[in-house]
Chain A
Amino acid sequence: ELKVEQNPLFLSMQEGKNYTIYCNYSTTSDRLYWYRQDPGKSLESLFVLLSNGAVKQEGRLMASLDTKARLSTLHITAAVHDLSATYFCAVDNYGGSQGNLIFGKGTKLSVKP
């Protein structure tokens, strides 16, 4: 059974600092996704990582994928308050239908001035 683990689950940062969120998954998967969710809102797609060594960057967020280690990271550079949200990673449930994702529990990020 595919499992996805994120850590930390809670992260309190000061503005201007850097930090990394980790996502480990238990079995082979074709794609890894990162989503952002604001309180009471839906999921916003941030990144889709398709291959080993893939790196994508958007603004202060950078995501990478190591399929051999079954590990993805979401690095936050010089955090600002607007990045406060819950971040989820998810992987394709290998052998399942496309669109069948297994999500981690999420990392609740709070950026304080």
Chain B
Amino acid sequence: ETGVTQSPTHLIKTRGQQVTLRCSSQSGHNTVSWYQQALGQGPQFIFQYYREEENGRGNFPPRFSGLQFPNYSSELNVNALELDDSALYLCASNRKNTGELFFGEGSRLTVL
């Protein structure tokens, strides 16, 4: 049990739409990171939040945005969806003082 939960598990959207993915982690996990994993590839870092502020960003356009809330939950928002956004989106959380990164079960997004 990683202590990181994500919702929804699966969703289907059409090109141009917007999507919000959610993640919650336990007390003691002080950062949250989001990753995109395309089929057959390794996960790619999107961004990270620490104390409700963005604290690092990968090579993703501004239409990928996020929020972190005081209750250890987080959102990933993607606007103007493109076909290539179809992927597994993973939320990960650091356990304080160990640096170990735990992943949630992921949200699988299909863009038609």
- Give A contacts to B, CB under 8 Å: 4, 31, 33, 35, 41-45, 48, 88, 90, 93, 96-106
Q: List, sorted by A's number, 6 A–B pairs whose CB atoms are closer than 8 Å.
A: A31-B99, A43-B43, A45-B103, A48-B99, A100-B56, A103-B42
Q: Is B66 an interface residue (CB 8 A)?
A: no
**Contact between chains at A45 and B41 (CB < 8 Å):** no
Interface size class of B (residues with CB under 8 A): 20 to 34
10 further A-B pairs in the complex, CB-CB below 8 A; given A90-B43, A101-B33, A102-B45: A41-B105, A42-B2, A96-B45, A97-B55, A99-B31, A99-B92, A100-B58, A101-B43, A105-B41, A106-B42
- Give B contacts to A, CB under 8 Å: 2, 31-33, 41-45, 48, 50, 55-56, 58, 90, 92, 94, 98-106
Within 8 Å by CB of A88, from B2, B42, B102, lies B42
> What's the minimum C-beta distance from B40 to chain A, rounded to whole angstroms?
8
Q: Which of A43, A104, A105, A106: most chain B CB closer than 10 A?
A: A43
> What's the minimum C-beta distance from B70 to chain A, rounded to whole angstroms?
19
**Contact between chains at A42 and B104 (CB < 8 Å):** yes
Chain B, Cβ-Cβ closest to A108: B40
Q: CA–CA, A101 to B92, complex, Å?
A: 11
Chain A neighbourhood of B58, CB < 8 A: 100
Chain B neighbourhood of A106, CB < 8 A: 41-42
> Which 7 A-B residue pairings sit nearest by Cβ, starting from the closest?
A97-B56, A103-B42, A99-B33, A43-B103, A42-B105, A97-B55, A42-B103
